[in-house]
Amino acid sequence: MSERVVREGLFGQLARIGKAIGSAKRLELLDVLGQGERSVESLAQATHMTVGNTSAHLQVLRNARIVETRRQGTKVLYSLADEQVGVFLRELWRLADTRLAEVEQLLRDYLEGDDSLERITRDELVRRSLSGDVCVIDVRPVEEYRAGHIPGAISVPFQELNEHLAKLPEGTDIVAYCRGPHCVLAPKAAQILRRSGLRAMVLEDGMPEWRAGGLPVSTARAS
């Protein structure tokens, strides 16, 4: 076997990964799976696709060994193959942040150009949580909250935020977090909270980064 044949074979294998992630919908599926394992039906709902399309995209990812499956009764649950996939996705986002101005512009447009949201680091949140002077809310869907959340965080799904406003503490800093630094749910939630007269800020990243940092994760169910 020649050196050229080997090199072409190696780059061909690398291209399998590139082809597998060469779809916005498949990248979105990986983003959701970064929060925890999901069924096809749940993933279809989260990404606004049909079950058939979702299943087809998942098969492409599975064939490239980016996701894996396990059975739970009659259900097939999907998850990221391992933490390396999560690391790869975070690095891909960093590259996009650096090279594509459109990423920041899309976020700014969604938040109506609001640059005044205060952000808090993981270390600062840990310190303030231990002292009890902050209220942490998880604005992801309940299913993701149950798969793992910051200890002490309250489940306040973004779609139900208005129903929870009266229950949130006044005079206490409220920290919202969601799927990661490119998830728009937490910043939008913080905007809504501030417009309602509450003190709100945003965790600078999200649950995948919290896990990757080796910080404690709770799986207690939402009340």
State the catalytic residues: 178
Yes or no: say if 140 and 207 are a contact pair by the CB < 8 Å rule.
yes
Between CA 194 and CA 184 the distance in angstroms is 16
For the chain, where are the E strands, in sequence order? Answer: 38-39, 67-72, 75-80, 119-120, 134-138, 154-155, 173-178, 200-206
Query: How far is it, in rounded angstroms, from Cα 202 to Cα 174?
Result: 8
Rounded to 5°, angle at Cα 36 from 68 and 15 = 45
Q: What angle do CA 195, 198, 203 make, to 5 degrees?
A: 95
Looking at the DSSP bridge assignments, the partners of residue 71 are 76
Q: Are 38 and 51 in contact (CB under 8 A)?
A: no
Q: Where in 81-195 does DSSP place strands (E)?
A: 119-120, 134-138, 154-155, 173-178
